[in-house]
Structure 1
Amino acid sequence: MGAAVPTFRLILFLCLLPAIAVADPARWRSEWPQTDFSMTSVTDWSEIRSGGPGKDGIPALDAPKFQSAAQSGDLAGTEPVITLELEGAVPRAYPVRYLIWHEIVNDTVAGLPVAITFCPLCNSALTFDRRTPAGVLRFGVTGKLRHSDMVMYDRETQSWWQQAEGRAIVGTLTGTTLRALPTWMESWAAFRERHPKGLVMVEPAFNRSYGRNPYRGYDTAAKPFLYDGAPPPHGIAPLARVVRVGDRAWPLTRLARLGELREAGLVLSWRAGQASALDTANIAQGRDVGSIRVRDASGRDVPHDVMFAFAFDAFWPEGTWMIGR
């Protein structure tokens, strides 16, 4: 394998050297003794696979530190951040250069416990309210994938959660759904321009190559990592980005071409300037994929996701494709 081979292919090669364990809850019980595998919505256990790292091998972050946006000089203007704007709180930016290595940030903003999540393999960036009928949960990374999407777990009940859906799929909380909050990915320059007095998460105290993309070339690959499903319909490439709102998906190429769409009671807008975190080795140098904002007819931000087409098709097989004409 030469130096030009994308990093994610090397990861795939290393993961496949030992045979990938057959999906069987009995083989997981030693690592997950507190997880109730008898309670699950999963009908085909072969859908859940090891992504390589074990439990907490990708370490989630708790209680992150922040600094003023005006004082931060580490981020390039094109770098993507996940923006959280809550009423009564100073807006916060969570750089994807950190989330690509940690995938989950457990934070509390204006008294609201939140989980900021990012699955690089699906490009899914979602923020959830951590309050549930079972109490406030703290999330970690199982190291498992389902349809190439991160399977999270909560530390309180050891239940497993599908990140793309915000839904518990294994354990005592099976069927519980987290409330998604309206956050979005945009360029650091756009956040700083709008919120010069905003806050940005500081670099975590881990030995990671922050700013480097370990999945170089992934979002232009022919097929997703550890995914055997059929390609999306309408000739859409598996790793093409779509804007998902509920069970509808708009191709990003359509939105980027038009700049703004008014459909299904929503206003979807596209703005240039955000680098893809999953393109070049240096995140800041990734090609421009633009930033998305989704609002309702009253101008209120709406929870949404900008994910890969294959993942939308896998989790919403009966969903509606807003492909236009």
Structure 2
Amino acid sequence: MSQKTATHTFFLQNKAVAGLSLLLMLSWLAVARADPAIWAREWPVTDFTRSSVADWAEIKSGGPPRDGIPALSNPAFHPAAQAKGLSRAEPVVVLDLPGQAARAYPLRYLIWHEIVNDRVGGTPVAVTYCPLCNSAMSFDRRVAGRSLSFGVTGKLRQSDMVMYDRETESWWQQATGTGIVGEMNGRALRQLPSWLDSWQGFRAAYPEGLVMAEPRHNRSYGRNPYQGYDRSNWPFLYDGTPPPHGIAPLARVVRVGDRAWPLARLAKVGEIREAGVTLSWRSGQVSALDAGHVGKGRDVGSVRVRGRDGADLPHDVMFAFAYHAFWPKGRWMLE
């Protein structure tokens, strides 16, 4: 594992500790223990007596403290036709809700912020991205009659981001969209149909679309702080078992519900129609987690998932280890 991967984004976003050695940082991470009594000092509102986490040791510090990775709220947008500075093949999260102009959220921003709290028409949405498991999903922020806003706890569970809502300070699992600690334990966010596409693909499909403007934060947008991560042999701070069937832990899979199709299988044939869904793949989108620049990685292609009626379905293109961790009884669609 490279030093950049091992230190996550902690060194990059917290200059005050940039002088610490890698050894000290890794030692601190190794000895840190999961303890709600300690967490309560930072999270006095969170109800730790309500949790669906079987073993607190599953939750680890990823390095940054609470809000050390700053989530965004109410971002500005530009017409896609007028936007500049984005590479043709770099990935964007596409959200196309009925009656609204389609929106693109570039991963060059999400890789540094991980959550965008937005409102599209009358729908409050959270667009999320966990670089460590490549999970890019969008959710309706309305739960139990309340509109929540989300931030980043700085914690990981099975190498996936643990989010929190600012209203109750409950903790949420990003990969599943479910509350795992606190008042909202057991609640589920409604996943919205969104997908990763290349910037050029979005502009071609939605010439009247909008793209999120560059945030006003001191970040090296466009640079990939996880250079080479998706070529790693093992995920950061993941202590679960490897995926079955000889699938590499950081191989991409297309998850629809509790089923997962290996991306390699889909890319080989271009289209798969199974289990009532149609998965399609086309080249032209690069990995944001490969090269030093998010627009210069290797081509991993774009995926679209539709139902029998042709409508887009909620799905995720995530790493195999994360699917295995959160859907251990899920169905692998291998052939």
State whether TM-score is above 0.5: yes
Local SS of the residue matching 1:140:
strand
Any residues of structure 2 matched to 1:101-112 within 5 Å, and which?
Answer: 101-112=112-123
| 1:261 aligned residue (262, 266, 272) | 272
Aligned match of 1:84: 95
After TM superposition, the score normalised by the length of structure 2 is 0.94
1:88 counterpart letter in structure 2: G
| Residues 23-74 of structure 1, C-alpha deviations (whole Å, 9 max, x = no match) | 0101100000000000000110000000000100000000000000011111
Aligned match of 1:224: 235
Is residue 17 from structure 1 mapped to residue 27 from structure 2 by the alignment? Answer: yes
Structure 2 unmatched ranges of 5 or more? 11-21
Local SS of the residue matching 2:110:
helix
CA distance in 2: counterparts of 1:94 and 1:108, whole angstroms = 13
1:75 counterpart letter in structure 2: L
Is residue 119 from structure 1 mapped to residue 116 from structure 2 by the alignment? Answer: no
Say whether the 8 Å CA contact 1:107–1:114 is kept in structure 2. yes
2:291 counterpart letter in structure 1: T
Is residue 314 from structure 1 mapped to residue 325 from structure 2 by the alignment? Answer: yes
| 1:140 aligned residue (151, 156, 172) | 151
Give me the identity figure in percent.
65
TM-fit CA distance, 1:10: 4.3
2:233 counterpart letter in structure 1: A
| Residues 114-133 of structure 1, C-alpha deviations (whole Å, 9 max, x = no match) | 00000000000000000011
CA distance in 1: counterparts of 2:140 and 2:232, whole angstroms = 33
Any residues of structure 2 matched to 1:52-67 within 5 Å, and which?
Answer: 52-67=63-78
CA distance in 1: counterparts of 2:281 and 2:3, whole angstroms = 29
Local SS of the residue matching 1:230:
coil
CA distance in 2: counterparts of 1:285 and 1:6, whole angstroms = 21
Any residues of structure 2 matched to 1:25-40 within 5 Å, and which?
Answer: 25-40=36-51
CA distance in 2: counterparts of 1:49 and 1:7, whole angstroms = 18
For this pair of structures, how many residues does the alignment match? Answer: 321
TM-fit CA distance, 1:16: 1.4
TM-fit CA distance, 1:17: 3.1
| 2:179 aligned residue (146, 168, 178) | 168
| 1:178 aligned residue (165, 189, 198) | 189
| 2:245 aligned residue (230, 234, 237) | 234
CA distance in 1: counterparts of 2:192 and 2:144, whole angstroms = 17
1:34 counterpart letter in structure 2: V
CA distance in 1: counterparts of 2:190 and 2:31, whole angstroms = 33
| 2:52 aligned residue (41, 59, 69) | 41
Say whether the 8 Å CA contact 1:6–1:217 is kept in structure 2. no
2:182 counterpart letter in structure 1: G
1:102 counterpart letter in structure 2: H
Aligned match of 2:281: 270
TM-fit CA distance, 1:6: 5.5
CA distance in 2: counterparts of 1:124 and 1:284, whole angstroms = 18
Say whether the 8 Å CA contact 2:7–2:26 is kept in structure 1. no
1:174 counterpart letter in structure 2: N
Say whether the 8 Å CA contact 1:79–1:274 is kept in structure 2. yes
Is residue 68 from structure 1 mapped to residue 79 from structure 2 by the alignment? Answer: yes
TM-fit CA distance, 1:228: 1.0
2:287 counterpart letter in structure 1: S
Which stretches of structure 1, 4 residues or longer, exceed 2 Å deviation after superposition? 9-15
Structure 1 unmatched ranges of 5 or more? none
Local SS of the residue matching 1:30:
helix
| 2:4 aligned residue (4, 7, 29) | 7
